[in-house]
Amino acid sequence: MRVLFDATAIPADRGGVGRYVDALLPALEAEGVDLRVVCQARDADQTAALVPGADVVPVHALVERRPARLAWEQTALPLLARRGVDLLHSPHYTFPVVTPVPLVVTLHDATFFSHPQLHSPVKARFFRTATRLAVRRAAGLVVPSRATRDEVVRYAGGSPSRFTVAYHGVDTEIFHPVAAAERARVRAAVGLGADEPYVAFLGTLEPRKNVPALIEGWVRACAGAGDGPAPALVLAGGAGWDTAVDAAVAAVPAGLRLIRTGYLPLGDLAGLLSGATVVAYPSLGEGFGLPVLEAMACGSAVLTTRELSLPEVGGDAVAYTGTGAADIALALRELLDDAPRRAQLAVAAEARAAGFTWREAARAHVAAYERALARG
């Protein structure tokens, strides 16, 4: 099976879909898939290092601009697919409308349909259109959770038999409980005191992540604290378009500490997550919820919501909250006050996270490829 894998949509900031592609490609190669990977010129060396047995094809630097990439996708990518490959995998919604070989498309979530208010109007329209087109055109559809499959079928149609659920994995060489020295290094790097307790959030600061409600809930939880020090709140992740975050930050009382780290290097994440008293991720809806899984693998006590896919990831190994600030405050205060419960969750989370591997994800993708080839 020779697969043309289009990685040109991956942004330079390797969050979200970038992490998916970077982890999936070597796992696919390990499963014996013969890969031809087309990628941005800036990513060529990194891609070649990830999959040394693959044929890596860099595109012109002009293709990095989105309009140019979309035009290239419709014109040049089908020509590449004519050159000795069996199947094309487009791993981020968009794809060439006309392809000479069977097509598999990854649809990461359906919140563009279920929660359009959480996205910019232009982005929501674009991805709704791309999803509907993929459901009509692709021979196979890969989704990261049953919830995403069900939501796509609900809003965009399609037979459930054409969907393959491929849960993301977690790289335990990166995400695992780390030693005290590493936690101390990351504490210092983000401006935390040596023994300062903190609640951590990891993710892009976009409306879907519900960060303003987290900030307000944390403030309320701290107001209900006993004699111990109030934990800081560390928001780790790139700035999104959630304009309400700044207003929520400005309303934090002077006696509390809120730290915005911006985008953190991958090598700092395990130290941040392992050292947190609680990792809070009160999302309004996820296609999967990779930060929750990564925190679980680090042995963190995680507080998240039951929205969409998150219970598929967390199971009984995380604590749950509603999405409103009052709900978050209550659940967070209970968890901060209950050290035995946090310890129990940490053990259960690490054990559950071990069941999510990129090897299994790759095998699910291979099954999707085989079904797509059988359909022709």
Determine the pLDDT at residue 376. Answer: 75
Contact 56, 25 (CB under 8 A): no
What's the mean pLDDT in 214-225?
Answer: 92
Query: 106 forms bridges with which residues in the sheet?
Result: 142
Lowest mean pLDDT among 40-44, 161-165, 243-247, 329-333: 243-247
For residue 243, name the pLDDT band (cuts at 50, 70, 90).
confident
Q: In what order do the strands lie in the sheet with 55-59?
A: 55-59, 34-40, 2-6, 87-90, 103-106, 140-143, 163-165
Statement: residue 13 has pLDDT above 90: no
- Amino acid letter, 206: E
- Amino acid letter, 258: L
Q: What percent of the chain has pLDDT over 90?
A: 89
Please give the C-alpha separations between residue 163 and each of 213, 251, 342, 372, in angstroms, as whole numbers. 34, 45, 36, 10
- Amino acid letter, 200: A
Place of tokens 């071990």: 354
Determine the pLDDT at residue 363. Answer: 98
Place of tokens 């359009």: 116
Statement: residue 345 has pLDDT above 90: yes
State residue 344 phi and psi, 5-degree precision. -65, -45
Model pTM? 0.93
Statement: residue 120 has pLDDT above 90: no
- Closest by CA to 89, choosing from 12, 145, 170, 164, is 164
Element (H, E) at 261: strand 258-262
**Mean pLDDT estimate for the chain:** 95
Statement: residue 226 has pLDDT above 80: no
Contact 308, 287 (CB under 8 A): yes
- CB environment 105-139: b (16+ within 10 A), e (fewer): bbbbbbbbbbbeebbeeeebebbbebbbbbbeebb
Q: Write down the H helix ranges in the chain.
A: 17-30, 44-50, 66-81, 111-114, 121-137, 146-156, 180-190, 211-223, 244-250, 266-275, 290-297, 310-314, 325-336, 339-353, 358-375
Could you give the CA distance from residue 145 to residue 184 in angstroms, rounded to a whole number? 35
What letter would DSSP give residue 239?
A: B
Determine the pLDDT at residue 215. Answer: 98
Statement: residue 329 has pLDDT above 70: yes
Place of tokens 């279920």: 114
Q: What tokens appear for 24 in the block?
A: 């999936």
Contact 199, 332 (CB under 8 A): yes
- Amino acid letter, 88: L
Asked whether the CA dihedral 283, 288, 293, 295 is positive or negative, the reply is: negative
Statement: residue 199 has pLDDT above 80: yes
Could you give the CA distance from residue 263 to residue 272 in angstroms, rounded to a whole number? 12
Q: What is the pLDDT of residues 249-287, one digit of tens each?
A: 999 999 999 999 998 999 999 999 999 999 999 999 999
